Structures are given as C-alpha cells and as structure tokens.
Copies of this chain bind each other. A is one copy, B any other.
Amino acid sequence: MSEFEVAVGADLRSQAYFALAEAYNLLQLLMDEQLRRDGGVTYVQFVLLAQLAQAPQGRLRMTDLADTVLHSRSGLTYQATRLEAAGLLRRERSEEDERSVTAVITDEGRRRLEQVIPGHQAVVQAGMFDVLSDNQVKELAEKLDAIRTRLRSMVPSSAQRRRG
C-alpha cells in the first residue's frame, strides 16, 4: 500500500483505484514510446486508426468517431488533418447527408497499423499479463468490463455535451 492511499483512504477500494490509475499511466508511458518508435504515431492516432480499421469498410462518420474516442469534434478534426497529411486516413463527404464527413482508413493506414500492433501487444503482454494466469486474466477482464459498462452510462456523448 503506497502512502498516497493512506491520504485518501487506506481501504481496499482505494487500493484498487490507485492500482488502476498507476497501472494505466505506466502502461500509457510504455505504449506511447513503442508506438512512436515502431510507427511514428501517437496513442490517440493509434486508437483512431484501430477504430476505423474494424469499422465496416474502414469508414466512420466524424461525429461518431469523436464520440467513440471521447474527444471534441474540433479535437478530432485536428487529428484527422494530421493523419490525412500522413496518408493514413482520408475524408469523404457523405452522399446521403451532405453535412456529414466520413473518415476512411487508407491502405497505408492499415499497413501502419499492422506494423505497430505486434510491438503494442508485446508491451501489453509484458506489462499486464506475464504476471497473471489465464484464469486470472479472465476474472480481471470480467470485472473491468462491468466497470467500463457502468462508466459509459455515466458519461454523456459529445453530441449531448454540445447540446447541454
């Protein structure tokens, strides 16, 4: 138990919370370095590319993408401009709704993603899973998934934030 925990609460819940926070921050540090080294992309850009890669035809509407990655629309425009300049993504006007813009991952974007994923998974494996058994991983995943679902219901979407 770290001393920080004593300040805010020495109970099990505080332990779980601070372990989560520190684990994620350390992981972020290692992942940022790996992604930059292996593919010249930031973590945010990696997440955006991965989101697009799995979407049908590699396409997502800008607003939906912003909601998915929890950023403002202007923030997404900023990142999309950078990814477009790097040739990893392109933007197309929608045909059904002329207001909408669809972000599409390019072939080069998919290649770049494949290029960084092995290193990314290696970091996650070494940092998180080498110290857990398969069954422990399963139990961890179940609990984190319950927490994630709960938190999703507590945070409004970017469209809702704009209105409210």
Contact = CB atoms under 8 A, between A and B. Distances in A.
A70 B26 CA distance: 8
Contacts of A53: 7
B8 A50 contact: yes
Give the bracket for the number of chain A residues in contact with chain B. Answer: 35 or more
B24 A20 contact: yes
Contacts of A20: 20, 23-24, 27, 128, 144
Given A15-B141, A16-B140, A144-B16, A7 B50 contact: yes
A27 B51 CA distance: 21
Interface string A20-61: 111111110110000000000000000100110111000000
B124 A50 contact: no
Contacts of A148: 19, 22-23, 26
Contacts of A70: 25-26, 29
A155 interface: yes
Contact of A29 (B3, B68, B155): B155
Interface in A62-110: 68, 70
A73 B85 CA distance: 33
Most central of A132, A148, A152 by chain B CB within 10 Å:
A148
A8 to B, nearest CB: 6
B140 A127 contact: no
Interface of A: 3-4, 6-9, 12-13, 15-17, 19-27, 29-30, 47, 50-51, 53-55, 68, 70, 113, 117, 120-121, 124-132, 134, 136-141, 143-152, 154-155
